[in-house]
């Protein structure tokens, strides 16, 4: 009884904060039971006593004595070994064999339906865990189809749910797990080094890995996380056998990229960026395919041969997120042999592990093996081996001293690489700019203006002051707009990536979605127009440009000096005239029009300006260029061809030669200057030579000098439009003498028209026939927009092709009386081209 | 073995008082065995967590067949906590006997060496005090067993005893103060 009283009084007393009040309470309570007052007081004193043995967690390190409050004493944090013995569904954890960024790996015993030991991988708690199993289920069928001696099977997956705070769920959360064939092996790189395997032996073992990956790819399974720790080697009958583990796991664990996951994904990928392909490093989620595995295999082979990863492990682990992506995306890996030579003292060790002399090993790798590895690791996945089998086949070629498919980069190839890198930089800066636009509220206002809904917005704001409800609507509208603008921007950014990878169908599909999201903003139309232009889908490009201009795109900005011809080809005469008017308005008073504007003005059967004025302008432009040509050393032409400014000329001249920034998709000379060697020879696919290549988006220097061929062609066109046929023929003859000019086919339809007007029908027909064959060839190429030839932009600027079609149409109408067939053929070619892109 | 334990647990649930007595030896044996196995495989600097040991004993004894039956679990924990206390106290006794015997050579105690870091003397004193508490307030003593010797959380203890977490907290405060008072009264240096 006494104890019960004592307990009741104590428990009430400790609820009282104030010490005096508490003492009074105790005194009052104990008044009718005087014997217990001192006992309660002693109890209260003991309660306050800090050094209570019960506060010391039993059998745990006493790191923080005194930290623990009596009522907050918690079960000590479990250590990893605590999980052993636990049952996860029907698997009993036996022994921990690994730990990684994703979670823990155990040997587990399965009792039924068959008794066997398996590997059980339990995933760390995370936000995306709910989807892990769903993603795994989606791929389960494909995983079950895989049956290959070099692939560890994945048996099962599930979610472990522990109701108590058990050792595996310290946070009490659900944790997905995977059950796999147990492979007791060591990572392939470690095995090869430990066994001192020679290079040919290593290649043989690696080929088996390729075979495994090929098998998986054929079953539609991509690994996504190939690295040494996922390629284990065991020994069977004295022979090493490689086993690829974790197929299907990376995909299930992987999460979609969102702003909130980007940081965590960055950290969870820390272990693997060394083996990650550029497209994976982009982390756009959906963009991984079998070629990403080829890349990772390339890195793996690199390490097997050179004993070191292509990019420095330490550097990769200390680089920031953006730096990491940049390295993976942009930095060319050194050749394995070069990397070896740079190893210094380590070279001896690496060579010894391969049974080679330190002096011999680099030369052993030089050539074939360097090229093979770098081909597999190409930044552009289109240039990697198309399959793991092809990769292995090329290794066999090397082992049998046959020529390998992987070739050393040619000079042209290097130049292309350079311009590609440059383009990436341009795209990047473009993306940053777009992102900024999307992010800034200030820009939102500008865009509202751009949409042409300014009045509506103003009205909405007015009403907002009047009525609160409407203000909310207006705000929501702006938010919706910002949201869809952000989405559209992301789509466009991803379309850039697709275009870089020459996945034009995907790129176009994304552009279409971007336009659908933001149909009232000209930028989306402009972006899609430029992609259409690159694919030679001129009718679509023209429609997009026309829409963009209607929505207020700056006339001389995105329009470009060759835009009128595009409108004309589409039969949109009104757009042609207004685009030309806008361009003409940019010519300063008393100034000379650029060759591109003149060309645009003269291309129409009924020129967009007075023909006499155009002839006068053309003649003056020609005179101007002939004078300045004398001052220009040929070096300038070469540099201009390469798209680099010539710094040798005095500043006042440089103004005239300034090259406008290239837009992303528009044709034009490749920018940048190769570090060594000359550029591609004239007439090569490298790009158009000069300023007659139209661009969009830059402030074109009006006095940019065109090559003689173009000058004479335009001059002759001006003469022809003025009925000065002899003079026209003279100029065109001179144009033909410019060997570097690739627009010679333009002269055929012009000659046909001219001879027809002179009454020489025989000559006219002959010229028309020659023109028709050029046009036929062009039309057939137009149908396959993604063929190599087409992506090389017909070995010339698109404006040449557009002009050819326009002039041929003009000639047909003159000589035959109708161009309906051509128009139909052109429409068909464009339609079928889009069809081939998947539309 | 797992069949036995299931039956015993069932009997405990049905109110068979004898069954509880049957359960304890099983738990005790299993916990000792586990502790021994742990000692063999652990690095010496790692200490064992009572909770983990008890959880593990539970999983093993039940063979995973009825892992989610909380009732069985509650009874189990009650038995296991008593077993844990016995293991720890036995170990402490053994060591302090050795100390008094003046053994100069380090003796391998195998199974329970690293289980105890609390000074053995203090642990034995605490056990004595706990026995006194048991005679006065068995519920409070059980609570100490579960929380201190087995390492259950407030919530787990509450579930095992079938009371609210608040009651556990209050009783814990009382038991804690009571034991402290008892220990201080035994120590001639502390309270006058």
A50 Cβ partners below 8 Å, 6+ apart? Answer: A66
SS3 state at A425: helix
Q: Is the pLDDT of residue A506 over 80?
A: yes
CB contact under 8 A, A46 and B42: no
A254 Cβ partners below 8 Å, 6+ apart? Answer: A135, A224, A285
Q: Is the pLDDT of residue B166 over 90?
A: no
Q: Is the pLDDT of residue A260 over 60?
A: no
The rounded percent of chain A whose pLDDT value lies above 90 is 16
- Is A507 within 8 Å of A515 (Cβ atoms)? no
How close does chain B come to A271, measured CA to CA in Å?
Answer: 27
Q: In whole angstroms, give the CA distance from residue A15 to residue A8.
A: 11
Question: What pLDDT band is residue A472 in, cutting at 50, 70 and 90?
Answer: low
For range A58-65, the mean pLDDT: 36
Where is average pLDDT lowest: A47-51, A450-454, A529-533, B161-165?
A450-454
Which of B71, B168, B180 is the best mutation test for A, with the most CBs of A within 10 A? Answer: B180
Out of A193, A225, A287, A498, pick the active-site residue. Answer: A225
Q: Does B58 touch chain A (CB under 8 A)?
A: no
CB contact under 8 A, B153 and A57: no
Quick one: residue A118, left, alpha or beta (phi over 0 = left, psi -120 to 50 = alpha)? beta
Quick one: residue A237, left, alpha or beta (phi over 0 = left, psi -120 to 50 = alpha)? left
CB contact under 8 A, A57 and B151: yes
How close does chain B come to A268, measured CA to CA in Å?
Answer: 28
B71: how many CB neighbours lie within 10 A of its CB?
14
Q: Provide the pLDDT for residue A731.
A: 93
Q: Provide the pLDDT for residue A209.
A: 95
pLDDT tens readout for residues A741-780: 878 889 999 999 999 999 999 999 999 999 999 898 888 8
Q: Is the pLDDT of residue B69 over 90?
A: no
CB contact under 8 A, B64 and A92: yes
CB contact under 8 A, B67 and A87: yes
- Is A816 within 8 Å of A803 (Cβ atoms)? no
Q: In 3D, which of A230, A249, A108 has the Cα closest to residue A178?
A: A249
Q: Which residues of A touch B169 (CB under 8 A)?
A: 71
Q: Provide the pLDDT for residue A180.
A: 86
SS3 state at A85: coil
A716 Cβ partners below 8 Å, 6+ apart? Answer: A727, A728, A729, A730, A731, A732, A735, A747, A750
Q: Provide the pLDDT for residue A833.
A: 82
Please provide the average confidence, as pLDDT, over all residues in chain A. 73
Q: In 3D, which of A719, A784, A709 has the Cα closest to residue A746?
A: A709
Question: What pLDDT band is residue A716 in, cutting at 50, 70 and 90?
Answer: very high
Q: Which residues of A touch B147 (CB under 8 A)?
A: 54, 73
Question: What pLDDT band is residue A56 in, cutting at 50, 70 and 90?
Answer: low
Q: Provide the pLDDT for residue B37.
A: 64
B188 Cβ partners below 8 Å, 6+ apart? Answer: none
Range among A546-560, A647-661, B82-96 with highest mean pLDDT value: B82-96
| Runs of H (alpha helix) within A502-647 | 504-517, 522-534, 538-550, 563-569, 573-584, 595-602, 611-631, 634-642
pLDDT tens readout for residues A479-503: 676 677 777 777 887 787 777 777 8
Instruction: Please say if A225 is a catalytic residue.
Output: yes
- Distances in Å between the Cα of B42 and the Cα atoms of A62, A109, B80, B149 are 19, 21, 22, 21
- Omega within 30 of 0 (cis) for the link into B47: no
The rounded percent of chain A whose pLDDT value lies above 70 is 67
Q: Provide the pLDDT for residue A315.
A: 75
- Interstrand relation of A87-88 and A91-99 (parallel, antiparallel or unpaired): antiparallel
pLDDT tens readout for residues A363-404: 888 888 999 999 999 988 888 999 999 999 999 988 887 777
Q: Which residues of A touch B67 (CB under 8 A)?
A: 87
**Cα Dmax for chain B:** 56
Question: In this predicted model, which residue has the larger pLDDT, B164 or A85?
Answer: B164
Range among A291-305, A317-331, A462-476, B156-170 with highest mean pLDDT value: A291-305
Q: At what angle do helices A388-399 and A368-376 cross, to 10 degrees?
A: 180
SS3 state at A199: helix
SS3 state at A244: strand
CB contact under 8 A, B49 and A75: yes
CA angle A597, A599, A602 (to 5 degrees): 110
For range B23-35, the mean pLDDT: 72
For range B56-70, the mean pLDDT: 55
Q: In whole angstroms, give the CA distance from residue A168 to residue A86.
A: 9
Q: Does A82 touch chain B (CB under 8 A)?
A: yes
Evaluated on CA atoms A279, A283, A289, A292, the torsion sign reads positive
Q: Is the pLDDT of residue A525 over 50?
A: yes
Q: Provide the pLDDT for residue A300.
A: 95
pLDDT tens readout for residues A719-731: 999 999 999 999 9
Question: What pLDDT band is residue A809 in, cutting at 50, 70 and 90?
Answer: very high
CB contact under 8 A, B55 and A167: yes
Q: Is the pLDDT of residue A614 over 80?
A: yes
pLDDT tens readout for residues A562-596: 788 888 888 888 888 888 888 888 888 888 888 88
Q: Provide the pLDDT for residue A440.
A: 44
Residue A370 φ then ψ, to 5°: -55, -50
Q: Provide the pLDDT for residue A172.
A: 47
Look up the pTM and report it. 0.38
- Distances in Å between the Cα of A628 and the Cα atoms of A595, A636, A644, A732 are 15, 12, 19, 22
DSSP state of A151: B
How close does chain A come to B137, measured CA to CA in Å?
Answer: 8
B/e letters for A631-666, b = 16+ CB within 10 Å, e = fewer, are ebeeebbebbbbbbebeebeeeeeeebebeebbbbb
B76 Cβ partners below 8 Å, 6+ apart? Answer: B9, B23, B27, B58, B61, B62
Q: Provide the pLDDT for residue A99.
A: 65
Helix and strand counts by DSSP (H, E) for chain A: 37, 9
Q: Which residues of B touch A164 (CB under 8 A)?
A: 55, 156
pLDDT tens readout for residues A112-151: 778 888 988 887 655 455 666 676 676 677 777 788 899 9
DSSP E strand boundaries for A144-251: 154-160, 175-181, 186-187, 231-236, 239-244
Q: In whole angstroms, give the CA distance from residue A223 to residue A172.
A: 31
Comparing CB atoms, the residue among A45, A59, A74 nearest residue B153 is: A74
Question: What pLDDT band is residue B158 in, cutting at 50, 70 and 90?
Answer: confident
E strand or H helix at B78:
helix B70-100
Question: In this predicted model, which residue has the larger pLDDT, A558 or A771?
Answer: A771
pLDDT tens readout for residues A281-336: 776 555 678 898 999 999 999 999 999 889 887 777 666 666 777 788 888 888 89
Q: In whole angstroms, give the CA distance from residue A122 to residue A132.
A: 12
DSSP state of A257: -
Which of B55, B72, B153, B170 is the best mutation test for A, with the most CBs of A within 10 A? Answer: B55
- Write the ipTM: 0.73
Query: A31: buried, middle or exposed (CB in 10 Å: 19+, 13-18, 0-12)?
Result: exposed
For range A512-529, the mean pLDDT: 82
Question: In this predicted model, which residue has the larger pLDDT, A47 or A233?
Answer: A233
Q: Is the pLDDT of residue B106 over 50?
A: no
Q: Is the pLDDT of residue A695 over 50?
A: no
For range B103-131, the mean pLDDT: 58
SS3 state at A629: helix
Comparing CB atoms, the residue among B52, B116, B175 nearest residue A82 is: B52
Where is average pLDDT lowest: A74-83, A516-525, B87-96, B176-185?
A74-83
The dihedral formed by the CA atoms of A579, A582, A583 and A585, expressed in degrees to the nearest 10: 160
pLDDT tens readout for residues A400-445: 877 777 766 554 544 444 444 445 444 554 555 455 444 444 445 4
Q: In 3D, which of A309, A301, A308, A305 has the Cα closest to residue A392?
A: A301
């Amino acid at each position: 009884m006494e104890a019960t009283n004592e307990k009741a009084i104590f428990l009430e007393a400790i609820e009282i904060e104030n010490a005096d009040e508490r003492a009074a309470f105790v005194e009052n309570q104990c008044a009718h039971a005087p014997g217990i007052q001192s006992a309660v007081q002693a109890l209260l004193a003991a309660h306050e006593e800090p050094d209570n043995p019960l506060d010391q967690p039993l059998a745990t390190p006493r790191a923080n004595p005194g930290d623990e409050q009596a009522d907050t004493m918690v079960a000590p944090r479990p250590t990893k070994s605590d999980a052993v013995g636990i049952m996860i569904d029907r698997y009993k954890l036996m022994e921990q064999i690994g730990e990684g960024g994703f979670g823990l790996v155990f040997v587990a015993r399965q009792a039924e339906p068959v008794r066997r030991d398996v590997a059980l991988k339990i995933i760390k708690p995370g936000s995306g865990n709910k989807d892990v199993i769903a993603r795994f289920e989606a791929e389960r069928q494909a995983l079950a189809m895989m049956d290959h001696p070099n692939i560890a099977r994945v048996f099962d997956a599930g979610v472990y749910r522990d109701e108590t705070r058990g050792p595996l769920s310290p946070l009490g959360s659900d944790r997905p797990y995977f059950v796999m064939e147990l492979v007791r092996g060591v990572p392939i790189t470690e095995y090869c080094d430990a066994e001192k395997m020679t290079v040919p032996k290593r290649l043989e073992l690696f080929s088996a890995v390729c075979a495994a990956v090929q098998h998986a790819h054929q079953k539609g399974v991509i690994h996504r996380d190939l690295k040494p720790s996922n390629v284990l080697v065991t020994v069977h009958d004295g022979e090493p056998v490689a086993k690829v583990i974790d197929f299907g796991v990376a995909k299930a664990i992987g999460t979609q990229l969102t702003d909130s996951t980007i940081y965590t994904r960055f950290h969870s990928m820390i272990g693997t960026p060394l083996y990650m392909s550029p497209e994976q490093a982009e982390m756009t989620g959906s963009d991984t395919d079998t070629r990403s595995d080829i890349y990772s295999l390339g890195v793996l082979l690199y390490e097997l041969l050179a004993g070191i990863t292509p990019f420095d492990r330490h550097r990769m682990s200390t680089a920031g997120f953006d730096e990491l992506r940049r390295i993976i995306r942009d930095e060319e890996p050194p050749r394995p042999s070069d990397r070896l030579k740079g190893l210094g003292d380590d070279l001896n060790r690496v060579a010894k592990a391969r049974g080679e002399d330190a002096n011999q090993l680099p030369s052993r790798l030089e050539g074939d093996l360097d090229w093979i590895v770098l081909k597999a690791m190409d930044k552009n996945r289109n240039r990697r081996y198309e399959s793991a089998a092809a990769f292995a086949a090329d290794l066999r070629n090397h082992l049998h001293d046959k020529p390998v498919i992987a070739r050393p980069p040619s000079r042209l190839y290097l130049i292309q690489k350079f311009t590609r890198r440059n383009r990436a930089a341009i795209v990047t800066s473009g993306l940053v700019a777009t992102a900024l636009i999307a992010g800034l509220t200030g820009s939102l206002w500008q865009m509202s203006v751009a949409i042409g809904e300014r009045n509506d917005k103003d009205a909405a704001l007015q009403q907002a002051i009047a009525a609160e409800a409407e203000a909310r609507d207006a705000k929501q509208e702006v938010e919706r707009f910002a949201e869809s603008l952000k989405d559209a921007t992301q789509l466009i950014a991803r379309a850039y990536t697709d275009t870089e990878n020459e996945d034009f169908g995907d790129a176009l599909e994304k552009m279409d979605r971007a336009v659908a999201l933001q149909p009232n903003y000209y930028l989306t139309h402009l972006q899609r127009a430029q992609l259409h232009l690159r694919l030679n889908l001129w009718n679509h490009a023209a429609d997009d440009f026309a829409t963009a201009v209607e929505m207020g795109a700056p006339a001389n900005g995105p329009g470009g000096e060759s835009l009128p011809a595009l409108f004309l080809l589409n039969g949109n005469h009104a757009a042609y005239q207004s685009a030309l008017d806008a361009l003409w308005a940019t010519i300063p008073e008393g100034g000379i029009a650029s060759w591109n504007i003149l060309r645009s003005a003269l291309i129409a059967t009924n020129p967009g300006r007075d023909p006499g004025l155009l002839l006068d302008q053309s003649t003056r432009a020609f005179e101007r260029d002939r004078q300045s040509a004398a001052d220009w050393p040929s070096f300038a032409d070469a540099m201009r061809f390469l798209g680099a400014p010539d710094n040798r000329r005095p500043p006042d001249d440089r103004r005239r030669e300034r090259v406008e920034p290239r837009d992303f998709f528009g044709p034009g000379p490749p920018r940048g200057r190769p570090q060594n060697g000359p550029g591609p020879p004239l007439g090569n696919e490298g790009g158009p030579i000069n300023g007659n290549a139209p661009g969009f988006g830059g402030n074109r220097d009006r006095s940019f000098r065109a090559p003689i061929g173009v000058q004479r062609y335009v001059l002759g066109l001006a003469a022809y439009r003025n009925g000065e046929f002899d003079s026209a023929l003279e100029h065109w003859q001179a144009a033909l003498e410019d060997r570097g000019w690739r627009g010679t086919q333009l002269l055929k339809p012009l000659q046909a028209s001219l001879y027809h007007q002179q009454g020489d029908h025989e000559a006219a027909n002959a010229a028309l026939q020659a023109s028709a064959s050029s046009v036929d060839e062009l039309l057939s190429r137009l149908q396959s927009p993604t063929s190599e030839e087409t992506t090389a932009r017909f070995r010339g600027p698109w404006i040449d092709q557009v002009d050819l079609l326009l002039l041929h149409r003009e000639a047909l109408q003159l000589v035959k009386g109708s161009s309906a067939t051509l128009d139909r053929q052109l429409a068909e070619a464009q339609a079928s081209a889009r069809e081939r892109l998947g539309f | 073995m797992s069949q036995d334990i299931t039956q015993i647990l069932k009997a405990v649930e049905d109110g068979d008082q004898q069954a509880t007595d049957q359960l304890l030896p099983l738990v005790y044996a299993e916990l000792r065995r586990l502790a021994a196995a742990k000692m063999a495989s652990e690095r010496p600097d790692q200490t064992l967590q009572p909770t983990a040991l008890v959880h593990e004993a539970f999983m093993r004894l039940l063979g995973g067949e009825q892992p989610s039956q909380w009732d069985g679990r509650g009874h189990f924990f009650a038995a296991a906590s008593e077993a844990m206390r016995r293991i720890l106290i036995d170990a402490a006794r053994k060591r302090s006997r050795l100390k008094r015997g003046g053994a100069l050579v380090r003796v391998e105690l195998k199974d329970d060496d690293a289980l105890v870091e609390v000074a053995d003397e203090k642990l034995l004193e605490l056990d004595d005090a706990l026995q006194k508490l048991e005679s006065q307030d068995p519920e409070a003593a059980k609570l100490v067993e579960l929380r201190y010797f087995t390492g259950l959380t407030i919530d787990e203890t509450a579930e095992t005893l079938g009371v609210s977490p608040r009651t556990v907290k209050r009783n814990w405060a009382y038991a804690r103060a009571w034991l402290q008072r008892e220990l201080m009264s035994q120590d001639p240096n502390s309270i006058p």
